[in-house]
Amino acid sequence: MLLADLDLNKTYTYADYFKWKLEERVELIRGRIFRMSPAPNRKHQQLTGDIFFAIRNFLKEDRCKVYVAPFDVRIPRRSKDDKDILTVLQPDICVICDPAKLDDRGCIGAPDLVVEVLSPGNNAKELKNKYEVYEESGVREYWVVSPQDQTLIIYTLTNGSYRASRLMVAGDIARSEALDGFSLDLTVLFEGLT
């Protein structure tokens, strides 16, 4: 099946998504198909790997689990039935602390922490559509990393709305509220990106 075979104006569910055998990677956001960027560039992959490694080391003995894309995060609205799920995302990195949200197909429900590393061309999707979905679904913390600008911003859920950190750069230490005690030195993170 090709993406061109699908009606991009139609609303789809996870039941549809699960049946597709597409060569392209896609996400569903509120029932609409969004193409994922082509294979991420080297800087994107380096930052994703470094952040994943740091979180994984931090969580070694913890009940929380960290996953890296491709990994489906299904956001239920009315029910957890595949036919009722309109949003399926593949965050670059996600941390789930409630084992009841994990199954063989990924995560069903809001992760505790999501990290998205921006790729050229997907910034609008990350910064608008995913932001809204993550906020509405109750993702406690959402990190947006820009390899191009070497910046990080953390959105923390407070009383149902995201509160943004200041824009952080090399020299700053990013601290997580969702993962108590986890921090990341941005000088170390961004060094070597050329």
The parent domain of residue 11 ranges over 3-190
Q: Check whether 1 has a pLDDT greater than 90.
A: no
Buried b (16+ CB within 10 A) or exposed e, 16-29: bbeeeeeeeebbbb
**DSSP run (H or E) holding 32:** strand 32-35
Confidence of residue 23 (pLDDT cuts 50, 70, 90): confident
Local structure of 71: helix, strand or coil: coil
93-114 tens-digit pLDDT: 999 999 999 999 999 999 999 9
Count: domains in the chain: 1
Mean per-residue pLDDT of the chain: 92
pLDDT at 3: 85
Q: Which CATH number covers residue 159? A: 3.90.1570.10
Confidence of residue 75 (pLDDT cuts 50, 70, 90): very high
